[in-house]
Structure 1
Amino acid sequence: MGVPYSKSLLYDDEHEAYKKAFPDQFRYDYAVSREQKNAAGQKMYIQTKMAEYAEELWDLMQDEKTHVYMCGLKGMESGMAECFGPIAEKNGLVWTEFAKAMKMLGWFLPWTPV
């Protein structure tokens, strides 16, 4: 989840409950842009946080039981391509085509305007 300030975190109690109830199946992380910095000392955005887990997320996206929900600005799309484009290419795929296929299958519901 990405938010500007930690006081803006949504559903934190619910996330903690899911994590406790399903420790092997549920994990979450936050990108708090006005309070955290990435390795380069810049604001921590959700795309940057996702890049930290890119290989693991890519592996999860290969499983048809995985659903990815993104909510945010359309501008996040380029960050996703930057994060997953090289991994997709390494696996003989084109990220834009892969993401489009996931959308068509209902696995990937990105960029819902906030």
Structure 2
Amino acid sequence: NVLRRRAAGRFLRSFSCRQTSFRTCFEEERAHLLPLLRNAQWVETVGRDAIYKEFIFKDFNQAFGFMSRVALQAEKMDHHPEWFNVYNKVQITLSTHDCGGLSQRDITLATFIDQASLM
């Protein structure tokens, strides 16, 4: 029963991606949003429609606290980052997998991530 609900949820997310809310940013939106992300040190990844940023903290505890804040927000959004952590470094890549590229959800999560890194 739980597996059926999850599968149905994935189908609905995939369907809505093609329809409205999850679709990738239009070129006009991208032209406006990407410079803002670049100013915040997010970079576009090579060979993929995604953005990337590395965060460096004082120690592992600060890095882990940051990751915990991001994880809670990502779960609320049902939009999860790709990330890698070693000691005080956290590398994050964002892309909307359901759409195969950047979407407004990535921009929203990137903005939250930047704010969470300052806490």
Q: Fold conserved (TM > 0.5)?
A: no
Structure 1 or 2: larger helix share? Answer: 2
When normalised by structure 2's length, the TM-score is 0.27
When normalised by structure 1's length, the TM-score is 0.28
Which structure has more RCO (C-alpha within 8 Å, separation ≥ 6)? 2
